[in-house]
Structure 1
Amino acid sequence: MTSATTMATALEPEHRERLMRLARGVAFEAGTRLFDEGRRADRFWVIRTGTVALDLHVPGRRPAVVETLGHGELIGWSWHFPPYIWHLGAETTSPVRAWECDAEAVRSMCAQDAEFGRAVAVWVGRVVAQRLHSSRIRLLDLYAPYGSGGLP
């Protein structure tokens, strides 16, 4: 987790408040599968407590965990980009309490308010960049002959 990708740091207070008006509190037990790669992305979550592992399908093997998320982190970014299909999978690794948002409602709010929409887009973009980096490093560690070689 980086400070640039947590909701508290990435969004101004007024944008967080607007987003939270659409959110509802949810709870999941450890081991709950939140979504699978290739399925429809129609919601997202912001973790309040607990941890969630993001994983990548690897044919013939167990899913490879590429990152573990905690407090304040966004679970899911695929809801923001057509065709709204999950690019990774996610499973809780501990009991989790989170804020859940309906993706269509948030996209509609973004379309109606350009400033809010830009703030959400920048936040989600930072998350995508960070997840891509984490996935690359993890896959190099798992499958490259010499690991990641200490890439930054």
Structure 2
Amino acid sequence: MTSATTMTTALEPAYRERLMRLAREVSFEAGTRLFEEGRRADRFWIVRTGTVALDLHVPGRRPAVIESLGSGELLGWSWHFAPHIWHLGAEAMSPVRAWEFDAGAVRTMCAEDAEFGRAVAVWVGRVVAQRLHASRVRLLDLYAPYGSGGPA
């Protein structure tokens, strides 16, 4: 996680406050599947406590864990981009407490206020870029003959 991808550093205080008005506190037991790759992305979360593993379906194998998310991190970005379908799966690795957001309500707020919408889009875009990089490195480590070539 980089500081640019947490909500508290990516969004200015007024935008954070607006977004948090839509937040609903939720919790998940360890082992709970939060979403599945290919299904409708209609919500997202900010992890407060615990760990969530992002995974990728690999035919003929167990899902490949791409990244683990913890406190302050955005869980879910597919809600922001049409067709609003999850690109990865997610499972609680420990008990998780999070703030949950209705994706449709947030997209409406973004459409009604261009500056707020831009701030959210930049935040989510940074998260997507980080996750894409993490996915590439992890898949190279799992499946390439010499791994990612990066530090172990």
2:9 aligned residue = 9
1:69 aligned residue = 69
Q: Name the SS for the 2:27 alignment partner.
A: strand
2:140 aligned residue = 140
TM-score computed with the length of structure 2 as normaliser: 0.98
Deviation at 1:2, TM superposition (A): 1.2
Deviation at 1:4, TM superposition (A): 1.0
> Which residue identity lines up with residue 86 of structure 1 in the other structure?
W
Q: Which sections of structure 1, spanning at least 5 residues, go unmatched?
A: none
Write out aligned runs for 1:82-97 (5 A).
82-97=82-97
C-alpha distance in 1, partners of 2:83/2:31? 27
C-alpha distance in 1, partners of 2:128/2:35? 17
Write out aligned runs for 1:52-131 (5 A).
52-131=52-131
Q: Name the SS for the 2:91 alignment partner.
A: strand
> Which residue identity lines up with residue 25 of structure 2 in the other structure?
G
C-alpha distance in 2, partners of 1:28/1:150? 34
1:21 aligned residue = 21
Q: Which sections of structure 2, spanning at least 5 residues, go unmatched?
A: none
Q: How many corresponding residue pairs?
A: 151
C-alpha distance in 2, partners of 1:49/1:18? 22
2:31 aligned residue = 31
C-alpha distance in 1, partners of 2:131/2:4? 12
Q: Name the SS for the 1:61 alignment partner.
A: coil
**1:100-143 deviation per Cα after TM superposition (whole angstroms, max 9, x unaligned):** 00000000000000111000000000000000000000000000
TM-score computed with the length of structure 1 as normaliser: 0.98
C-alpha distance in 2, partners of 1:30/1:3? 26
C-alpha distance in 2, partners of 1:33/1:17? 29
